[in-house]
Structure 1
Amino acid sequence: MTDTAIDGDIKPTTVASYLRRHPEFLTEYPELANQLVLPSANGPAASLAVHQLRTLREKNAELETRLRELSSIAGDNETLMRRVHGLMLALLGAADIEETVRSVVRRLTDDFKSERVRLVFFGDLAGLPDEPWLLREPRGASGLPEFASFLAHGDPVAGRLAPDKLHRLFGDAAPDVRSAALMRIGPDALLAIGSGDSNRFHPGMGTLFLDMISTTVGSAIERARKAA
């Protein structure tokens, strides 16, 4: 709209400025709401009332979508919580270190649908089974220079790992692992879960359940070690 004067000396910019300073204007003159016309990028021009109704419907649709997303997340979290609880119960019933680590791998594989699980132990802990998913590093953490940064801070990480880390954990199967989660298990071990899905584990995901798993497994291994 040009700034040509309307009704004498009144200009459109003057009207616009007045309405900005008095947003309650239409409450005093509600009949104008049905007469004002607003342009639309998605269709024909509409009255202010129709425009407000359309905007309200769009906002309601956005809220409904967000509510469905939150409900889905809540359902997923409840499922994960039940699985962590099942893992905890299984580990409480383990008689020794071998049964403990076997229960960890079995639960992660069956309940959490983990494709590849690796437990890496530092030193030479007695009673561990000889299995492809269990790795030993007799030199301790110093024998895993690829994971020095991770072991230093100890927080769970999720995402795509560098090729040297993947090869150290998964060997010849490393090319099939597109994403992974790493958890520090107490002072003497780490737990890795690998997936062929590049979106299964990513940096933007929360680590609450990874923390819970690492704490649960670490406590169970420490208890089994002391009982040996």
Structure 2
Amino acid sequence: MRAEDVAQYLQDNPQFFEGHTDLLTQIMLPHPHGGRTISLSERQMVALREKNQGLEKKLQELITFAHENDALQHKVHEFVVALFAARDLATLQEMVPHLLREIFSVPHATLRVWKTNPPSAEVIAFTDEQQHPVCLHQAAHDTADWFGEIGKQLHSFAYLPLHAGSESIGLLVMASEDKQRFYPGMGTMFLQRIADAVSAAMHPHVTQ
């Protein structure tokens, strides 16, 4: 008889152990972590403890994730409020990279606005294609040069297209030497909020 047949029989006949209660105390199983045998009831307790430990770990991960989200929400709020201090486009262009470094600890950031400093046609076309932020491990076109000499040492990039309505008006780029700071497939919800805030702050200055 196959083990699968025994298991299926016990599942189909739960009353079996009602007539064989002594069998429950006689069954000995290998300890899951080796070293000795234990009774069926002890094995069940071990399984329950391990399940509880797994649930506790998952709960702790969820709590940690919630705390991290709260912290990011606070930083985004702080960033948006700070943008209100900019009274002109030049101040805004200088302020945004500074705020990203101070609030989000982004090591390198640059803001390029089409109205004052248009990039290459390839970069504008790339920006026009992006409806949402995109993270890459390689610089798009010539954007690594925007960071000067350090551009050769950067290994992760976050591109935040800035829009006024349906038209792109600029590109905010964050970068890091750490390849895992920004990576393809990472969540971009908070990056999108940053892009929306910067776009809204720039809108009055680039549509006049």
Normalised by the size of structure 1, how large is the TM-score? Answer: 0.76
Which residue does 1:52 correspond to in 2? 44
Task: Find out whether 1:172 has 2:149 as its counterpart.
Answer: yes
Once the two structures are aligned, what percentage of the paired residues are identical? Answer: 31
Larger Rg: 1
Which residue does 1:37 correspond to in 2? 28
Q: CA deviation at 1:40?
A: 4.2
Please report the RMSD computed on the Cα atoms of aligned residues, expressed in angstroms. 2.7
Superposition map of 1:76-155 within 5 A: 76-122=68-114, 124-125=115-116, 136-137=117-118, 143-145=120-122, 148-149=125-126, 151-155=128-132
The 8 Å contact of residues 100 and 224 in structure 1, kept in 2 or not, is answered as no
Structure 1 distance, partners of 2:84, 2:178, is 31
Structure 2 distance, partners of 1:23, 1:171, is 73
Equivalent residues, number: 203
Q: CA deviation at 1:204?
A: 3.7
Q: CA deviation at 1:201?
A: 1.4
Corresponding residue to 1:19 among 10, 19, 23: 10
Q: CA deviation at 1:117?
A: 0.5
Q: CA deviation at 1:67?
A: 1.6
Q: Go from structure 1 to structure 2 and tell me whether the alpha carbon gap of 1:96 and 1:146 turns closer, same or farther (over 3 Å shift).
A: closer
Deviations, residues 149-205 of structure 1 (Å, cap 9, x unaligned) = 553132111241247455344342122212121110111101110112221112242
Structure 1 gap segments, 5+ residues each: 4-10, 126-135
Structure 2 distance, partners of 1:154, 1:224, is 21
Structure 2 gap segments, 5+ residues each: none
Structure 2 distance, partners of 1:13, 1:137, is 70
Deviations, residues 44-72 of structure 1 (Å, cap 9, x unaligned) = 23222111111111111111112222211
Normalised by the size of structure 2, how large is the TM-score? Answer: 0.83
Structure 1 distance, partners of 2:169, 2:31, is 64
Please give the secondary structure, in 1, of the residue aligned with 2:138. coil
Corresponding residue to 1:66 among 48, 58, 64: 58
Which residue does 2:170 correspond to in 1? 189
The 8 Å contact of residues 135 and 158 in structure 2, kept in 1 or not, is answered as yes
Corresponding residue to 2:133 among 156, 177, 186: 156
Structure 1 distance, partners of 2:99, 2:10, is 65
